[in-house]
Amino acid sequence: MKKTIIIYGSTTGNAASAAQTIAEKLNGAEIKEVSSATKDDLTAYDNIILGSSTWGDGELQDDWFGFLPSVKSADLSKKTVAVFAVGDQFSYSDTYVNAMGSLYEAAKSAGAKIIGSTSTEGYSFNSSTAVIDGKFVGLALDYDNQAEMSEDRISAWVAQISPEL
Ligand SMILES: Cc1cc2nc3c(=O)[nH]c(=O)nc-3n(C[C@H](O)[C@H](O)[C@H](O)COP(=O)(O)O)c2cc1C
């Protein structure tokens, strides 16, 4: 069984850049755009990291819509999943990183063990479906307003999830 795959959707490159940085810090994770992901990618790996930017009114990045049904209908009961999303907390304060909430729900309904929740400290927004019990369900990034914080946030998150992968 292979170890870790990162599957992401990105329109202007920010979520792609995050995925790349996560892969580098994880030392050897496979990385794939969601537009070319297949059901086999979900079965062939122990650990699956799902990422997206947030568009429209808190929606997943467009390329995700073709693959989300595959995630929902997969049996991920023996998999460990972590989620991340990119958004703009100031311009889209009511739907900040809602894409991460959608990825979380999909992985949860597929039975995955989900790791990697993080504090909302240092962010400023009204509401987000990615916040459960006061914490983000995964890693939240904001390249529009806090780009300089992304690297440290990714480092801390990778250090947090690594022991569980
Ligand atoms: C039309 C439009 C709608 C957006 N909607 C949201 C949103 O609902 N929530 C959010 O957090 N960010 C939203 N964003 C911000 C993007 O997610 C953000 O710019 C992100 O960095 C883009 O990442 P990408 O380059 O990987 O696609 C929106 C941006 C645009 C241009």
| Cβ of 96 less than 6 Å from ligand 1 | yes
Rounded CA-CA distance 68/134 in Å is 25
Gap between the Cα atoms of 38 and 64, Å rounded: 12
CA 9 to ligand 1: nearest atom: 26
CA 117 to chain centre: 11
**The predicted structure's pLDDT at residue 28:** 82
- CA of 54 relative to ligand 1 center, distance in Å: 5
Going from N- to C-terminal start, the domains of the chain cover: 2-160
Rounded Cα distance, 10 and 19, in Å: 10
pLDDT recorded at residue 138: 98
Residue ranges of E strands in 10-138: 30-33, 45-55, 59-60, 80-86, 113-115, 118-119, 131-132, 135-136
Digit-coded pLDDT (tens) for 86-134: 999 999 999 999 999 999 999 999 999 999 999 999 999 999 999 999 9
User: Quick one: which atom of ligand 1 is closest to the CA of 96?
Assistant: 11
- Residue 33: pLDDT band with limits 50, 70, 90: very high
User: Which whole number is the average pLDDT over 43-67?
Assistant: 97
The CATH number assigned to the domain with range 2-160 reads 3.40.50.360
Distance 17 CA to ligand 1 centre (A): 14
State the distance from the centre of ligand 1 to the C-alpha of 62, rounded, in angstroms: 11
Ligand 1 centroid – CA 36 distance (Å):
21
Nearest atom within ligand 1 for CA of residue 58: 8
Question: CA gyration radius for the chain?
Answer: 14
* Residue in 80, 83, 120, 134 with CA at minimum distance from that of residue 105: 83
* Spatial distance between the Cα atoms of 21 and 11, rounded to a whole number of angstroms: 17
pLDDT at 113: 98
Residue of 158, 68, 149, 85 whose CA lies nearest to 116: 158
- Which pLDDT score is estimated for 51? 98
